[in-house]
Structure 1
Amino acid sequence: MPETVDVIVIGSGNAGFSAAASAKENGASNVVVLEKAPISWAGGNSTFTAGAYRTVFHGLQDVLPLVNNVTPELVDKIDMEPYTENDFMADLKRICNNRSEPALANALVNESNSTTKWLAKNGIKFQLSFNRQAYHINGRYRFWGGMVLKVEDGGKGLTKQHQANCKRLGVDVRYDSPVVRVLTDNSGCVNGVTVRKADGSTQNVFSRGGVILCAGGFEANPQMRVQHLGPNWDLAYVRGTPFNTGDLLKIAINDLGARPSGNWSGCHSTCWDYNAPTDAGDQNLTNQFTKSGYPLGLMFNNTGARFVDEGEDMRNYTYAKFGRAILGQPDGVAFQVWDADGTSWLRDEEYASDVVERLTSDSIEGLARKLGEKGLKNKQLFLDSIKEYNDGVSAFRKTNPNAVFDPSKKDAVSTRSTTKSLLLGPDKTNWAQPILMPPFLAVKVTCGVTFTFGGLKTESQSAAVISQTTGLPIPGLYCAGEMVGGLYFGNYPGGSGLTAGAVFGRKAGREAALRSKLFRKADNRSSL
Structure 2
Amino acid sequence: MNKSRHVLVVGAGNAALCAAISAAENGARVTMLERAPAGARGGNSAFTGGCFRTVYDGVEDIKKLVPDLTEEERLSSDFGHYDAEKFYLDLCELSGYRADPVLIDLLVEQSLPTLLWMSDQGVRFLPAYGRQSFKVDGRNIFWGGLTIETAGGGIGLVDALFRRAEALGVEVHYDHKVERLLGDRHHVRGVVVNGDELLADAVILAAGGFHANTEWRVRYLGQGWDLAKVRGSRYNTGNVIQAALDIGARSHGNWSGCHSVFFDAGADDFGNIAILNQQKNYFTLGIVVNRDGQRFFDEGSDFRNYTYSKMGAAILKQPGGTGWQIFDAQSTTILPDEYRVPRAARFEAETLEALAAKLEGIDTEAFLKTVADFNLAIDEAAPFNPAVKDGRRTSGLANDKSNWARAISEPPFVAYQVTCGITLTYGGLAIDEQACVQNEEGEPMGGLYAAGELVGGLYYDRYPGGAGLTSGSVFGRIAGANAAS
Pick the TM interval, shorter chain: over 0.9
TM-superposed CA distance for 1:342, in Å, is 1.1
From 376, 383, 386, give the equivalent of 2:368: 383
- The aligned counterpart of 2:435 is 463
Amino acid at match of 2:361: G
> Map of 1:346-425 to 2, 5 A cutoff?
346-347=335-336, 349-352=337-340, 354-371=342-359, 374-376=360-362, 378-393=363-378, 396-397=379-380, 401=381, 403-416=382-395, 421-423=396-398
- The aligned counterpart of 1:522 is none
Distance 1:58-1:353 versus aligned 2 partners, 3 A rule: closer
Structure 1: 5+ residue stretches without partners = 197-201, 515-528
Paired residue secondary structure (2:131): helix
- The aligned counterpart of 1:312 is 301
TM-superposed CA distance for 1:65, in Å, is 2.7
TM-superposed CA distance for 1:92, in Å, is 1.1
Is 1:295 the counterpart of 2:284? The answer is yes
TM-superposed CA distance for 1:69, in Å, is 6.1
Is 1:253 the counterpart of 2:225? The answer is no
> Map of 1:166-205 to 2, 5 A cutoff?
166-184=165-183, 188-196=186-194, 202-205=195-198
TM-superposed CA distance for 1:405, in Å, is 1.2
- The aligned counterpart of 2:316 is 327
From 207, 210, 214, give the equivalent of 1:215: 207
Do the aligned residues in 2 keep the contact of 1:262 with 1:454 (CA within 8 Å)?
yes
Paired residue secondary structure (1:193): strand
Q: How far does the alpha carbon of each residue in 1:261-314 deviate from its partner, in whole angstroms, 9 at most, with x for none? A: 000000000010000001x1011112x101112100000011111111110100
Do the aligned residues in 1 keep the contact of 2:180 with 2:191 (CA within 8 Å)?
yes
Do the aligned residues in 2 keep the contact of 1:68 with 1:127 (CA within 8 Å)?
no
Is 1:231 the counterpart of 2:210? The answer is no
- The aligned counterpart of 2:129 is 130
Paired residue secondary structure (1:318): helix
Structure 2: 5+ residue stretches without partners = none
Do the aligned residues in 2 keep the contact of 1:5 with 1:205 (CA within 8 Å)?
no
Do the aligned residues in 2 keep the contact of 1:299 with 1:334 (CA within 8 Å)?
yes
Q: How far does the alpha carbon of each residue in 1:373-396 deviate from its partner, in whole angstroms, 9 at most, with x for none? A: x221x1111011101100101xx2
Is 1:109 the counterpart of 2:93? The answer is no
Is 1:268 the counterpart of 2:259? The answer is yes
- RMSD of the TM alignment (CA)? 1.3
* Structure-2 separation of matches of 1:180 and 1:251: 7
* Structure-2 separation of matches of 1:26 and 1:375: 59
Do the aligned residues in 1 keep the contact of 2:300 with 2:401 (CA within 8 Å)?
yes
* Structure-2 separation of matches of 1:175 and 1:225: 26
**TM-score, structure 1 as length reference:** 0.90
- The aligned counterpart of 1:282 is 272
* Structure-1 separation of matches of 2:310 and 2:198: 40
Q: How far does the alpha carbon of each residue in 1:88-109 deviate from its partner, in whole angstroms, 9 at most, with x for none? A: 0111112111110100110111
Distance 1:111-1:126 versus aligned 2 partners, 3 A rule: same
* Structure-1 separation of matches of 2:387 and 2:236: 35
TM-superposed CA distance for 1:241, in Å, is 0.8
* Structure-2 separation of matches of 1:354 and 1:447: 19
- The aligned counterpart of 2:407 is 434
TM-superposed CA distance for 1:357, in Å, is 3.1
* Structure-2 separation of matches of 1:68 and 1:156: 21
Distance 1:79-1:215 versus aligned 2 partners, 3 A rule: same
Is 1:447 the counterpart of 2:420? The answer is yes
Do the aligned residues in 1 keep the contact of 2:315 with 2:419 (CA within 8 Å)?
yes
Paired residue secondary structure (1:170): coil
Is 1:7 the counterpart of 2:7? The answer is yes
Distance 1:69-1:277 versus aligned 2 partners, 3 A rule: farther
Q: Select the structure of larger CA radius of gyration.
A: 1
Work out the percentage of aligned pairs sharing the same amino acid: 44
* Structure-2 separation of matches of 1:69 and 1:237: 38
- The aligned counterpart of 1:146 is 145
> Map of 1:492-507 to 2, 5 A cutoff?
492-507=463-478
* Structure-1 separation of matches of 2:314 and 2:5: 46
TM-superposed CA distance for 1:5, in Å, is 5.8
Amino acid at match of 1:316: N
Paired residue secondary structure (1:225): helix
TM-superposed CA distance for 1:353, in Å, is 6.4
Q: Point out the more displaced range, 86-95 or 67-76.
A: 67-76
TM-superposed CA distance for 1:68, in Å, is 6.0
Q: How far does the alpha carbon of each residue in 1:98-123 deviate from its partner, in whole angstroms, 9 at most, with x for none? A: 11010011011111011111111111
* Structure-2 separation of matches of 1:367 and 1:69: 46
TM-superposed CA distance for 1:131, in Å, is 1.4
Is 1:20 the counterpart of 2:20? The answer is yes
Is 1:475 the counterpart of 2:460? The answer is no
Moved >3 Å (runs of 4+)? none
* Structure-2 separation of matches of 1:358 and 1:324: 21
TM-superposed CA distance for 1:412, in Å, is 1.1
